[in-house]
Amino acid sequence: EKQNYNAFKELDSTMTEARKIALKGCSDFTTVVAEKQNKGRGRGTKSWDSREGGLYFTWIIKPELPLAYHYIYTIGAVAALSRTVNDLYGVDARAKWPNDLVAPEGKVAGVLSEMECSGEKISWLNLGIGINVNNKLDSEDRTSLKELSGHSIDRKELLNSFEEQFRRMLSRETPGSIRAMWENRNSTIGQAVRLRSEQEGLLTGRAVGLTKSGSLIVRKGKIETTALFGDIYEK
């Protein structure tokens, strides 16, 4: 067993527990995982349904990249997860901006990040990842790896392969090539999008790419706007 692997039967949220551990100090890729969460958090004000059977964890990462590149960790994780589920189960699930993994049948996984900085250096970055694996689903816009593959999934094997894939990516690739990997495995670019962004309000147009820092570039006519946060709505 890895020393930096912290498994719990239940937690309110792995984010809260990971934050405590990060503040005390810990090694890169310390993992906090819970069988179920009582107050699983999604992005913004959303909650994350965290009943038994899913995979709910937070990685505490000690980033090498400076603050301006923090987004690379989120899109890198989604790209690495997309590859992992394809390699292991033949499931074709793609990255949806900003931090979801989706199949045509629905959302498979989401990533939530939290970090602490000192100046331009990130002290720690916590990536919270929720994956619908063998769990029952609460809504129509979600699907699970079990549904998509037709069999139940070994969550330990999934977590190990995902970590291996992601760490290999971080050690070998550059921010630019990680962005390219996300772009190769995404379902957003090229699509007509309707996006509500905290910064820009309502944006409609065609998604044309990501900026260096991970913002989505949306084009309408000749005008390009970038959105750093937001949610994409279909048509």
CA–CA gap between residue 90 and residue 101 (Å, rounded): 15
Q: And the tokens for 43?
A: 């992005």
Q: At what angle do helices 70-89 and 155-172 cross, to 10 degrees?
A: 130
Told to check if 58 binds ligand BTN by CB under 6 A, we report yes
Told to check if 162 binds ligand BTN by CB under 6 A, we report no
Going by C-alpha positions, the residue among 158, 193, 176 that lies closest to residue 71 is 176
If the CB atoms of residues 58 and 161 are measured against ligand BTN, the closer one turns out to be 58
Told to check if 130 binds ligand BTN by CB under 6 A, we report yes
Q: And the tokens for 66?
A: 């400076």
Going by C-alpha positions, the residue among 142, 139, 93, 111 that lies closest to residue 42 is 111
- Of these, 6, 14, 84, 187, which contacts ligand BTN (CB under 6 A)? 14
Question: Which range binds ligand BTN by CB under 6 A, 10-18, 113-121, 157-165, 213-221?
Answer: 10-18
Q: How far is the CB of 2 from ligand BTN (least distance, A)?
A: 18
Question: Which range binds ligand BTN by CB under 6 A, 38-46, 144-152, 181-189, 197-205?
Answer: 38-46
Q: How far is the CB of 221 from ligand BTN (least distance, A)?
A: 31
Told to check if 40 binds ligand BTN by CB under 6 A, we report yes
Q: How far is the CB of 99 from ligand BTN (least distance, A)?
A: 6
> Apex CA 127: angle with CA 144 and CA 132, to 5°?
10
If the CB atoms of residues 118 and 185 are measured against ligand BTN, the closer one turns out to be 185
Enumerate residues 6+ apart whose C-beta is below 8 A from 17: 6, 8, 11, 32, 34, 58
Q: At what angle do helices 155-172 and 175-184 cross, to 10 degrees?
A: 130
Going by C-alpha positions, the residue among 124, 55, 58 that lies closest to residue 85 is 55
Residue span 102-121 as binding mask against ligand BTN, x where in contact by CB under 6 A, dash where not: --------xxx---------
Told to check if 15 binds ligand BTN by CB under 6 A, we report yes
Tell me which residues touch ligand BTN (CB under 6 A). 13-15, 37, 40-43, 46, 48, 56-58, 100, 110-112, 128-130
